[in-house]
Structure 1
Amino acid sequence: MPSVSMRHAVRAIILDEDDRILLCRFTIPDPAGTVVWAAPGGGIEPDETPLGALRREVREEVGLMIEADPPHVWHQEVVAPGHSPGYDGVINDYFLVRTELFEPRGELSDDQLAAEHISELKWWSLPDVSGYHGPDLLSPRDLAGLLRTLITSGTPTRPVPLGL
């Protein structure tokens, strides 16, 4: 059986005191202009731990400094060649970060954010997420249900496995 090359990434479920979630609008050139609202985060560099990568990505993209070790709440494996260029798929580990509402502005310039395919940062309430019917995608696909469970049931004892 051929070996599968997966991109390992971390994502932050950033919730404010009113349970709003901070999402990034990613415009992915291939397939043609796919637009996805997803949690901030990105790939783990070879010399990084997952939490080190999470701290770096969140600081760069949204400007939040993560001090404590946030709980690991979701785990997602997507085996789909082409989903992440150069890989056969992606493994996303999601961590819950609680914070007060802040104006997201990371260390990256607008041009650097654009190079990361990020075009917007926005706080969403649970009704905003569950009632969204626009042209963009939300990731993971069942973000509303997952978020509702996380808010009402609290941090899971083990990371919840996710689909797409």
Structure 2
Amino acid sequence: MSAEQPGELPGELRKVARVILLDPDDRVLLLHGFEPAGPERTWWFTPGGGVEAGESREEAALREVQEETGLVGVELGPLLWTRLCSFPFDGRRWNQDEWYFLARTTRTETSLDGLTSLEQRSVAGLRWWTSAELSAARETVYPTRLAELLRTLLDEGPPAAPVVLAPEIV
């Protein structure tokens, strides 16, 4: 992309795989995060993280789910959405190219035992959300349109081609 194209972020983009993880009741799993230096600022977000060297986005998605939730045997589905985002966190700016995959699990018991040291300092817990709970939430959730996107996904199924979401710059 050229510097004039809308949605481009400055600097190198971190490749990220995120997961819309649904249980048998179509609840979505979200992690509760906070800024390590300012724990009063909180938000909810989907499991996922950076792609490691030699790893595909699909492999990264499954690895991140296992590390962040303790869930194994997750069935990875299609790529749903992509987005560019940029946000301050832990003293630096993160510029990311995020891909959101659909995944399903039959297990709902989770564990935070596999979190990295940074995640241990910035994740307060996780919970399963129904679509109605997510729509009624007054807390910050990323991506910010997740309630609407989830409702469309549950009503219509996965899109025929990945949807490009508007960039989010915080």
- Number of paired residues? 160
Equivalent position of 2:105 in the other structure: 99
Report the residue type matching 2:30 in the other structure.
Answer: L
Unmatched runs of 5 consecutive residues or more in structure 1: none
Q: Which has the higher strand share?
A: 2
> Aligned in 2, Cα 1:128/1:55: closer, same or farther, shift over 3 Å?
same
Find the partner of 1:17 among 24, 48, 61. 24
Distance verdict in 2 for CA 1:121–1:34, change over 3 Å: same
Q: How does 1:10-159 map to 2 (within 5 A)?
A: 10-29=17-36, 33-66=40-73, 68-78=75-85, 80=86, 82=88, 89-108=95-114, 113-115=119-121, 117-133=122-138, 136-159=139-162
Structure 1 pair 109–91 and aligned structure 2 pair: CA distance change class (3 A): closer
Task: Decide whether aligned partners of structure 1 residues 19 and 68 sit closer, same or farther in structure 2, where only a CA change above 3 A counts.
Answer: closer
Structure 1 contact 21–124 (Cα < 8 Å) conserved:
yes
Q: TM-score, normalised by structure 2?
A: 0.81
Whether the 8 Å contact between 2:33 and 2:43 is mirrored in structure 1 is yes
Shift of 1:60: 0.7
CA 1:106 to 1:88, structure 2 compared with 1: closer, same or farther past 3 Å?
A: closer
Q: CA RMSD in A?
A: 2.7
Q: Provide TM-score, normalisation by structure 1.
A: 0.83
Structure 1 residue 29 displacement after superposition: 3.5
Say which SS state the counterpart of residue 60 (structure 2) adopts: helix
Over the matched positions of the two proteins, sequence identity in percent amounts to 32
Q: Quick check: 63-72 or 34-43, which moved more?
A: 63-72
5+ residue gaps, structure 2, are: 4-9
